[in-house]
Chains A and B, each alone.
Chain A
Amino acid sequence: MADLTANPTVVNPSREGQVDHGHDHGHHDDHHHEETFLTKYIFSMDHKMISKQFLITGIFWAFIGGAMSLLFRLQLAWPESTFPFMETLLGRWAEGGQLSPDFYYALVTIHGTVLVFFVLTGGLSGTFANFLIPLQIGARDMASPMMNMLSYWFFFAASFVMFGSLFIETGPASGGWTAYPPLNGMRDIAVNKGSGLGFDLWLTSISLFIVSSLLGGLNYISTVINLRTRGMTLSRLPLVIWALMFAAVLGVLAFPALLSAAVLLEFDRLLDTSFFLNNIVINGELLAYKGGSPILYQHLFWFLGHPEVYIIIIPAMGIVSDVMSVHARKPIFGYKAMLISMLAIVVIGFFVWAHHMFVTGMSPVLGVVFAIFTLLIAVPSAIKTFNWITTLWRGNLRLTVPMLFCIGFVSLFITGGVTGIFLGNPAVDVQLHDTYFVVAHFHIIMGVAAFFGMWAGVYHWFPKMFGRHMNRTLGYIHFWVTMVSAYLVFFPMHFMTGFPRRYWSFTNFETFNTMGNLQAIITIAAFVVFAAQILFLINFFYSIFRGRPVTEQNPWGATTLEWTTPIRPGHGNWEGDIPTVHRWAYDYSTENGDVGQHVPMKEGEAAH
């Protein structure tokens, strides 16, 4: 029976012919004829090409979102100065060279939206789930390559709409990435400039993105369940595959709640329904909305919103676990514990959403329930951290660029994780809610840490993606500059405990105007971080075309299946049969040396 699931022609009869397609694409001359530029690079159904499309779109948005943060950081650091270049760049949004509050809030909103959804969900899960799932489980492609292609093109459409919304007259959405009604619930630009057409486009874009995410997620799950090669039992899956599947499960279960919230919100805006609106008085006049609840929206939003942070961080955890193990030349410590803790995070992650709402006036009893579940999540997170550290213990750590990003990830995960213990406790959260402490917390743990996981993955799998190496000196500079200056940006924000976030200027308050040049230090550090990313960008694109070619099939000495494919695998991944799996993915430094998953067990050798 085991043979049935393993034989590629049985598993996927529709692509029987593609067994031969695993050409080494280094030899472009004898390329198969039926692929045109359009089918190979644009409407590609090859999971590897789709993953690169996700990655490059993600990089595009990361730079847009990052550049936006620089603009509003300038305003925060020097609220009383003017920057003439800003008027050149933004026109009437920065008259006299000072960012207008309206556009400041638009920048904050779009920065949050694109980084959370487009970069760290689309760019991270989209890239690595597409790239790694078929290659590591031993499949020729995704369960449904067509759906996979659609998933990217829905993402592209979402990006297109969001990008377009930046250029309309009333400006893009400016009511925060959480888009709370009533601020965003009425199509009235007198209430908020960005709540006009800008927010309609925002909702459209997010709805398209949800479709993309669902198409992708269902595909990832069914691929992992159905298309594993012979011998690839669930308990032999690399952790990164587990992580990507868990993230997909979270997305499939949680995103629909956001879609329903988005649709109901648009009803309120366009059809004057009152799902989220009640007793609103504007300019002395009571509007006709009756009986809705703005808090209901928050429940729906955070029902996605909190699992969303795990959708972001779990793939990063998976990548770090596997990349760390390869470069430490040691098995990941406590594979089962890692797996169970990840599962615990996924399950508990669905019961903590209202910790974002402790001060909305909801019942204090509910606060207690959500506090218990929230602090409970610290336990599996701690287990994972200790296991990563133990993986390093007595290893032979090759401090390559991807390895450094893994180590940086663990450091950031600790720093950003412990502050979550403050925020999850309602008694402490009263003071910290909606302040810079929160900004510091989530930027470190789900912003920078998730980015570190992503970079670890990019540097590690770049040779497989493009058949060339990235320049490692630039990589090291990228890592160290980012590590130091990202901490310089976000760590000092803890000192601004209790300073409200989303303030255009603190000059009106004596209480919040005490930090002197700290804001300026943060802004300068932010510019340095951004400069380091330009270095990464140069390295990335230069290396795609001119990087040192990969000459070994398995340059890192890894055990997983993707390194058994040709250096430049074609559509279908393996030239001959798909390899059979005989062991788990972590047989590093065993008695027999480092042993790949496809190598049969020796006589008398015990499974780990």
Chain B
Amino acid sequence: MSAFIILAVLILLFTAFFFIGKISETSMSIRKANATEDGGDSYDDMEYVSNINGYLSLAFMVGFLFLSFYGTLHYLPRMIPKLANSIHGQELDKMFLRTYYITASIFLITHVVLFAFVFMYRYKRNRKAYFFSHSNTLEIIWTTIPAIAMAYLVYTGIIAWNETFTKDNSFTEYFGEDHSDKMPITMEVTGYQFGWKVRYPGADGSLGNRVIDDEHINEFYATYSLPNELGVDWQDDSTSHDDLFVDDTVRFVKGHPAIVNVGALDVLHSFYLPHFRIKMDCVPGTPNQIKFIPLYSTEEYREVLSKEAYWQETNEATGQPRWETFNFELACTELCGASHWAMQKYVKVYETMDEFYAWQNAQTPYYVSTVEPAIAAVDNPTEEEAEEDEASIEMAKN
């Protein structure tokens, strides 16, 4: 029923507009009979319509500029927190602000001038337009100024970009400071439909080798009934034996370089940590790497947010202020299929390396919990199973 009412209202509305149009056309031809204006046969009341639209343009300009700047301020507290939680992220944000100040001024000035001209020079019967076809001086001015602005932005941008993506993993000169004394955390994130496989090294600090071939993936799966999508070399490489597979939360440590190897199993994904200003595509068959140094632990970041009005409001789900339950998040930003929107994981930043070690030591390596038993079950069957096997062989013989 309500659908019919909506439909009826819409049809009435369009009919009304249509007749307004028809009527104004008729009234125009009445005015036209008395008019002497020069506007071509479509617009003999040119001064009248130009006036209306001139004022409308002015009103639009005021409303538009007000709303765009007011809206920015209004929604600022709800945007992804302004405070970047990484050394390079703060540089990238400076770059964003630099660009914002330049472009916002261009936006403001050109809009005011544009609509002011529209209003000031709206059609007047007795006005004659000024024949002004070119001016090399003007062209040179507004070629040079944008060129200088762009050169400045591209220069500062490239410096920040090069520092962020330097291939050097020693962190001796990372944004002008030496971080090489801090123990880096190397880890691996692999996207799949629809989630992330997160692997941390164990006490040895290094991840086990991966060999992506038939033997290590398909044959391993067929032999031991245990999927090995990553192709980890469980049998010949003992560094893999203390590797941790993490299901819930990705973990980093404040002030310690994080070196993340990103990849994908099936289709493209993209590893996105909004608060850390980190984004790197995960490409099947092509390993990528990204690194950063977190600046605040989760606790410290909550502390910062607790001072902002939006984060002080109560979270309806938990009944607590928003900042108290705040967590960093990991998201996917490359369309990867029907549940692309659901590839969420929490991210935690520890205050100290000790907290990280404590967590690390409390975990059971995947090899111990899952791989070893699976291999043992096939290679060294238990007595009962062995007997069963023998029995079945006997049966087959008979």
A→B interface (CB under 8 Å): 85, 100-102, 105, 174-176, 180, 182-183, 191-193, 277-286, 292-295, 328-331, 333-337, 359-361, 364, 367-368, 371-372, 375-376, 378-379, 382-383, 385-387, 389-390, 392-400, 404, 407, 410-411, 414-415, 418-419, 421-422, 425-428, 430-431, 433-435, 463, 469, 471-474, 476-477, 480, 483-484, 487, 491-492, 494-506, 508-512, 514-516, 518, 531, 534-535, 538-539, 542, 548, 550-552, 554-557, 586, 588-591, 608
A263 to B357, CA, bound (A): 52
Beta-carbon contact of B121 and A394 below 8 Å: yes
B122 within 8 A of A: yes
Contacts of A393 in B (CB 8 A): 117, 121, 130, 132
Show 26 A/B contacts (Cβ-Cβ < 8 Å), sorted by A. Answer: A180-B268, A182-B268, A277-B284, A281-B266, A292-B285, A293-B286, A330-B131, A333-B133, A359-B281, A364-B162, A368-B162, A375-B150, A393-B121, A393-B130, A395-B130, A397-B123, A425-B157, A427-B156, A433-B279, A473-B25, A492-B71, A494-B72, A498-B274, A506-B341, A510-B327, A586-B133
Beta-carbon contact of B79 and A398 below 8 Å: no
Residue in A closest to B100 when the chains form the complex, CB atoms: A422
List residues of B (52-88) whose CB comes within 8 Å of A's CBs. Answer: 53-54, 56-57, 60, 64, 67-68, 71-72, 75, 78-80
How far, in Å, is A556 (CB) from chain B's closest CB? 5
Contacts of B342 in A (CB 8 A): 508
Beta-carbon contact of B118 and A407 below 8 Å: yes
How far, in Å, is A254 (CB) from chain B's closest CB? 23
Beta-carbon contact of A175 and B335 below 8 Å: yes
Beta-carbon contact of B53 and A378 below 8 Å: no
How far, in Å, is B74 (CB) from chain A's closest CB? 8
Beta-carbon contact of B277 and A473 below 8 Å: no
Asked, given contacts A193-B338, A371-B158, whether A330 binds B130 with beta carbons under 8 Å apart, the answer is yes
Beta-carbon contact of A435 and B267 below 8 Å: no
How far, in Å, is A182 (CB) from chain B's closest CB? 5
A498 to B82, CA, bound (A): 11
Q: Mark B16-30, 1 if CB is under 8 A from A, else 0.
A: 011011101100010
A394 to B123, CA, bound (A): 10
Beta-carbon contact of B25 and A411 below 8 Å: no
Contacts of A534 in B (CB 8 A): 14
Contacts of A505 in B (CB 8 A): 341
Beta-carbon contact of A431 and B266 below 8 Å: no
B177 within 8 A of A: no
B351 within 8 A of A: no
Contacts of B60 in A (CB 8 A): 480, 483-484
Asked, given contacts A330-B130, A425-B99, A473-B25, whether A295 binds B283 with beta carbons under 8 Å apart, the answer is yes
Residue from A175, A285, A504 within 8 A of B221 (CB atoms): A285
B329 within 8 A of A: yes
Residue in B closest to A105 when the chains form the complex, CB atoms: B338
How far, in Å, is B84 (CB) from chain A's closest CB? 8
Beta-carbon contact of A419 and B338 below 8 Å: no
Residue from B267, B278, B288 within 8 A of A183 (CB atoms): B267
How far, in Å, is B391 (CB) from chain A's closest CB? 31
A330 to B280, CA, bound (A): 50
How far, in Å, is A170 (CB) from chain B's closest CB? 12
How far, in Å, is B86 (CB) from chain A's closest CB? 11
How far, in Å, is A464 (CB) from chain B's closest CB? 12
Asked, given contacts A279-B285, A535-B14, whether A431 binds B118 with beta carbons under 8 Å apart, the answer is no
B43 within 8 A of A: yes
B36 within 8 A of A: no
Beta-carbon contact of B21 and A392 below 8 Å: no
Asked, given contacts A294-B268, A555-B42, whether A328 binds B129 with beta carbons under 8 Å apart, the answer is yes
A386 to B337, CA, bound (A): 44
Asked, given contacts A360-B281, A407-B57, A510-B326, whether A183 binds B336 with beta carbons under 8 Å apart, the answer is yes
Asked, given contacts A371-B158, A414-B110, A430-B278, whether A383 binds B283 with beta carbons under 8 Å apart, the answer is no
How far, in Å, is B145 (CB) from chain A's closest CB? 8
Asked, given contacts A295-B283, A337-B139, whether A431 binds B274 with beta carbons under 8 Å apart, the answer is yes
How far, in Å, is A278 (CB) from chain B's closest CB? 3
A541 to B204, CA, bound (A): 75
Contacts of A192 in B (CB 8 A): 267, 337-338
**Knowing that A278-B286, A415-B107 are A-B contacts, what are 18 other residue pairs whose CB atoms are under 8 Å apart, sorted by A's residue number?**
A182-B284, A278-B285, A286-B218, A333-B135, A360-B283, A371-B161, A375-B154, A389-B117, A418-B107, A421-B153, A428-B157, A431-B277, A433-B333, A434-B333, A477-B20, A492-B71, A502-B341, A515-B75
List residues of B (262-304) whose CB comes within 8 Å of A's CBs. Answer: 265-268, 270, 272, 274-275, 277-281, 283-286, 288
Residue in A closest to B97 when the chains form the complex, CB atoms: A428
Asked, given contacts A330-B131, A368-B158, A389-B113, whether A421 binds B103 with beta carbons under 8 Å apart, the answer is yes
Beta-carbon contact of B284 and A497 below 8 Å: no
Residue from A284, A379, A430 within 8 A of B227 (CB atoms): A284
Q: Mark B136-177, 1 if CB is under 8 A from A, else 0.
A: 001100110011001001101110111011110000000000
Beta-carbon contact of A422 and B335 below 8 Å: no
How far, in Å, is B221 (CB) from chain A's closest CB? 5
A410 to B60, CA, bound (A): 14
Beta-carbon contact of A394 and B92 below 8 Å: no
Residue in B closest to A108 when the chains form the complex, CB atoms: B335
How far, in Å, is B128 (CB) from chain A's closest CB? 6
Residue in B closest to A488 when the chains form the complex, CB atoms: B67
Beta-carbon contact of B283 and A294 below 8 Å: yes
B340 within 8 A of A: yes
Beta-carbon contact of B142 and A382 below 8 Å: yes
Beta-carbon contact of B133 and A608 below 8 Å: yes
Contacts of B99 in A (CB 8 A): 421-422, 425, 428
List residues of B (317-332) whose CB comes within 8 Å of A's CBs. Answer: 326-327, 329, 331-332
Beta-carbon contact of B278 and A331 below 8 Å: no
A147 to B166, CA, bound (A): 52
How far, in Å, is A482 (CB) from chain B's closest CB? 12
B198 within 8 A of A: no
Beta-carbon contact of B43 and A400 below 8 Å: yes
B353 within 8 A of A: no
Identify which of B179-187, B209-217, B251-259 touches chain A.
Answer: B209-217
Beta-carbon contact of A495 and B72 below 8 Å: yes
A455 to B161, CA, bound (A): 41
Residue in A closest to B152 when the chains form the complex, CB atoms: A375
Beta-carbon contact of A281 and B10 below 8 Å: no
A239 to B86, CA, bound (A): 49
How far, in Å, is B291 (CB) from chain A's closest CB? 13
B193 within 8 A of A: yes
B206 within 8 A of A: no
**Closest 3 pairs between A and B when the two form their complex, measured CB to CB:** A278-B285, A284-B227, A361-B288
How far, in Å, is B98 (CB) from chain A's closest CB? 9
Beta-carbon contact of B18 and A538 below 8 Å: yes
A279 to B129, CA, bound (A): 67
Asked, given contacts A183-B336, A334-B134, whether A378 binds B274 with beta carbons under 8 Å apart, the answer is no
A135 to B307, CA, bound (A): 66
B127 within 8 A of A: yes
Residue from A182, A392, A511, A589 within 8 A of B80 (CB atoms): A511
How far, in Å, is A171 (CB) from chain B's closest CB? 11
Residue in B closest to A284 when the chains form the complex, CB atoms: B227
Contacts of A550 in B (CB 8 A): 41
Residue from B14, B40, B123 within 8 A of A538 (CB atoms): B14
Beta-carbon contact of A418 and B103 below 8 Å: yes
Asked, given contacts A279-B212, A281-B217, whether A588 binds B129 with beta carbons under 8 Å apart, the answer is yes
B229 within 8 A of A: yes
Contacts of A491 in B (CB 8 A): 67-68, 71
A501 to B333, CA, bound (A): 7
Contacts of B167 in A (CB 8 A): 364
Beta-carbon contact of A285 and B43 below 8 Å: no
Residue in B closest to A584 when the chains form the complex, CB atoms: B133
Contacts of A531 in B (CB 8 A): 10, 13-14
Contacts of B243 in A (CB 8 A): none
